[in-house]
Amino acid sequence: MSENKTQSTKFVHLHVHSHYSMLDGMGKIPDLIAKVKSDGQTALALTDHGVMHGIVEFYKECKRQNIKPLLGIEAYIAPRSMKDKQPRIDSSAYHLILLAKNETGYRNLMELTSLAHLEGYYYKPRIDKKTLKKYAEGIIACSACVQGEIPRKSLENLTEGRKALKEYLEIFPKEDFYLEVQHHPKTVPEQKQANENIFKLAEEFGLKVVATNDPHYVNSDDNIAHDALICLQTGKLVTDSNRMTMSGDNYSLLTRQQMAANFPDHPEVLTNTLEVAEKCNVDIELGKFRFPEFPLPAGETNESYLRKLIDERLPNIVSDVTKEIQDRIDYEFKVIKDKGYLGYFLIVQDFFRFAKEQGIPTNTRGSAAGCFISYALGITGKQLNPFDYNLPFERFLNPLRPSAPDIDADIADAGREEIIKYVSKKYGQDRVAQIITFGTMAARMAVRDVGRVLGMSYSEVDLIAKLIPPLKTTLDKALGEVAELKNLYDSDPRIKQCIDIARRLEGVVRHASVHAAGVVIAPEKITRFTPVMMDAKGDRLITQYEMHAVGEDGIGLIKIDFLGLANLSIIQNVIKIVEKTREVKIDLDEIPLNNKKTFQLLARGETIGVFQLESEGMRKNIKELRPTTILDIMAMVALYRPGPMAFIPEYVKRKHNPARIKYADSRMEKILKQSLGLIVYQDDVLMIAIELAGYNWEEVDKFRKAIGKKITKDMTAQKDKFFRQIIERGMAESTASELWNQIETFAGYGFNKAHAASYALVAYQTAYLKSNFPPEYMSALMTSNKDDLDKLAIEIEECKRMGIAVLPP
């Protein structure tokens, strides 16, 4: 074909699978879009098998690369009713391509795929024609591959194919139903006859035909890796005969020239794809928060009711509402109100209130403890007064950035489902769902999977896998860093083949599961915002969109992390046991933070079973530190991690010899006094930039991101700005240089101070219970770990050391 002819060929892929067609497709969304863009195509569809997992990512990436997104699915059509589930009769479903023309069509796609999973699931998520007709508005349909009902029935009998087509034309307007042809002569030899039948039916019914290629990967040289992926799906070896394979034909994202070559006698089937693309115009509104309405008492507004709750609860936690406290409340309230988040606080305080009433221990993670209003409302613990720990509100909610509040809840894992049920009942079960998450093939896993389907021995594959560094590495990086791995790769063709295939499968979605914490609450029926499905066990409603797609940067649903924490369940059980056996009622909010037994236990390093403090290294450091305040526990929680760990010896020395405490600049004392003059928390760095270098909260947020990500260009710009401004404000250049070196060393490892405070409090609570109620604590601890024999053995030894008898069950 001539170059001019190629350039004039008009074509758009309408039937495309990404790696969200799990263990079937392997194309990553940015790569798919980049491929069609490089070929001069102007639009692209995404039609994964029965799911819409990738739609938001696809939409955003298409916009970024200036390609028109065509949003769809390849649906499964039940042969009878979607509720019929009889073996051998209903186990095989037909395929049908559905594309959204407009917003109505997009919403109907979400409804259809949700119903397919919730009501029609039988081997596959299926819908029936009755349901399809109900939600057909705004949707274009294409007859799909030979697994479509029309081509499959027409192969059996053209009359049956004609009958099936008539049924679809009762569902879709004639102008929105397209017949589909493909070209896969080796893997689908019946395709040629199917195409001939399609052209006959098109002429008879006056319908248009579109060409597709059913791409399952990006480039033609991905076919070997894709074949391995299919083997993973089917549990076969690549050497097995009589297995499912697509390797005989090219199922890549073909160029316009390649598609034209497949259909030289029917150029119209290519140009017709543009007609479909032109009809599809969907705009998804992203980045706008959609809050559910909190049910208010009569006559109240969000503003008045939140004020009322603060005023009612504040006297229970502070004895004197000083001007400093009232000013802080007024300031925070204004920021929260101006940003439109009053309703969010009402929603969050309500389930924390419920948890407290049910005796379910809770905590918060992240920066929430820096918000005094959270403290006043009982969201954060009574012993986490932000003034006591010098916690800035702006870390939680930056007044100069359009960031949303994010209150992540730690909940006793035994009570997590109870709280989620409460939220579901309050806002409606059709408005609340947990969030899906996807597991992708990391380097080691990819090698193990590929080695298995290639028929390599376990020991051989295990040798390769164990040479790959375990954390956040790629195979390319490992080959560059691990000489032994590179030598095996260069010297053994089978190992080279295994690694080369695995490299192509790295990052490909392997499975879906339920996010450990995330829950979304919609302002109306959730399927207006995200499609849903059931988890693998069939007992939890989950979104089809992942966390980033449903949250702040995507659809904008309110997302709350309910993370089940075993240590909080241990605390809950200790309280129950003590009340039952000793008739003593423990109120966590009232336990003294200066308990002698607690600090004696910590000084002895007897912290097995104590939250955050039980590792061997931590026990050694705690013993050397001999903490006397919760601030010491906070510092240890923050310092005991890569990078800051180097500062632990100096912190210990300063603890026991206050004469060592010094400040590079006297203005730093109010920032670093609680950490004995050392930079311990990320907040320390930020407050130095604000107080000494004149940054505002918007600037300091950019500063935090630059030093956290260690991007050279950004770090250099921030260093120049920091030096210039801090020297202008009176710091000696040598002192500034020394300070910057500390900050740079600290970069990327800094711990959020509010998070450290929250976790230090739970650490103290567990230490308090262990030291004051040892049998009850160890009983609850071992009950929690009853299925972990390694932990149980350690805890039984700890009981012996403590003089506590452990009796057989």
Name, in order, each residue with C-beta under 8 angstroms of 432's C-beta and a sequence gap of 6 or more.
420, 423, 424, 519, 520, 521, 522, 526, 541
Query: How many Å apart are CA 40 and CA 18, to the nearest integer?
Result: 20
Q: Looking at 151-283, which runs of residues are DSSP E strands?
A: 177-181, 209-211
How high is the pLDDT of residue 379?
97
How high is the pLDDT of residue 707?
84
Q: Where are the alpha helices (DSSP H) in 468-565?
A: 475-481, 483-491, 493-505, 547-550
Phi, psi of 732 (to 5 degrees): -65, 145
How high is the pLDDT of residue 4?
46
Q: Are strands 209-211 and 177-181 parallel, antiparallel or unpaired?
A: parallel
Model pTM above 0.95: no
46: which strand partners? 71
- Interval 109-164: pLDDT, tens: 999 999 999 999 999 999 999 999 999 999 999 999 999 999 999 999 999 999 99
Q: Mind listing the domains of the chain with CATH numbers?
A: 3-218+253-279 (3.20.20.140), 302-437+513-566 (no CATH), 567-795 (no CATH)
408: which strand partners? 365
How high is the pLDDT of residue 643?
76
Q: Which two tokens stand for residue 732?
A: 């000696």
Q: Which two tokens stand for residue 134?
A: 């109900």
> Phi-psi region for residue 251, left (φ > 0), alpha (ψ -120 to 50) or beta?
alpha
SS3 content of the chain, % helix, strand, coil (to 5): 55, 10, 35
Query: How many Å apart are CA 650 and CA 678, to the nearest integer?
Result: 9
* Residue 6 near residue 208 (C-beta atoms within 8 A): no
Q: Which two tokens stand for residue 392?
A: 């800035």
Among residues 600, 510, 405, 559, the alpha carbon closest in space to that of 53 is found at 510
At residue 707, the 3 state secondary structure works out as helix
* Residue 578 near residue 587 (C-beta atoms within 8 A): no
How high is the pLDDT of residue 8?
59
Query: How many Å apart are CA 126 and CA 114, to the nearest integer?
Result: 10
Q: Give me the sheet containing 532-534, strands edge to edge.
A: 362-365, 408-412, 558-565, 509-521, 432-440, 541-546, 532-534
Residues of the chain scoring pLDDT < 70: 1-8, 747-748
How high is the pLDDT of residue 714?
84
**C-alpha atoms less than 13 angstroms from C-alpha of 189 in its C-beta half-sphere:** 0
CA angle 397, 398, 402 (to 5 degrees): 95
How high is the pLDDT of residue 470?
86
* Residue 398 near residue 697 (C-beta atoms within 8 A): yes
Q: Which two tokens stand for residue 308?
A: 């009322």
Among residues 749, 457, 798, 431, the alpha carbon closest in space to that of 610 is found at 798
How high is the pLDDT of residue 3?
45
CA dihedral 337, 338, 343, 344 (to 10 degrees): -110
